[in-house]
């Protein structure tokens, strides 16, 4: 995965770096958003676990963790 792939994932799912931080780290404080930003800007390599994590964001029933997060945000 490269920065363009990550940026595409975020835009395709209408997510911000803060949203991704909440999904991955259960937090969205400044340091978490900076980590995502550094990945997006190519300052540091995207960790090798991230593509698999994004592909397999755990399915709970028929809804993925991402879908559950988006439903929660729209309440």
Domain encompassing residue 64? 3-73
d(CA 36, CA 40): 6
Residues contacting 29, CB < 8 A, separation 6+:
none
Phi-psi region of 45 (alpha: psi -120 to 50; beta: other; left: phi over 0): beta
Q: Which sign, positive or negative, has the C-alpha torsion 67, 8, 56, 44?
A: negative
Number of structural domains the chain divides into = 1
Identify any residues that bridge with 64 across adjacent strands, giving them in sequence order. 59
pLDDT in tens, 6-46: 998 888 878 888 888 988 888 888 999 999 999 999 999 99
Q: How confident is the model at residue 60 (pLDDT cuts 50, 70, 90)?
A: very low
Predicted confidence band of residue 65 (pLDDT cuts 50, 70, 90): low
DSSP state of 43: S
Residues in the chain: 75
């Amino acid at each position: 995965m490269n920065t363009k792939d990550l940026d595409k994932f975020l835009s395709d799912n209408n997510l911000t770096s803060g949203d991704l931080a909440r999904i991955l780290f259960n937090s969205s404080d400044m340091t978490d958003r900076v980590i995502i930003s550094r990945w997006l800007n190519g300052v540091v390599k995207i960790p090798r676990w991230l593509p698999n994590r994004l592909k397999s964001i755990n399915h709970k029933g028929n809804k993925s963790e991402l879908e559950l997060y988006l439903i929660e945000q729209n309440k």
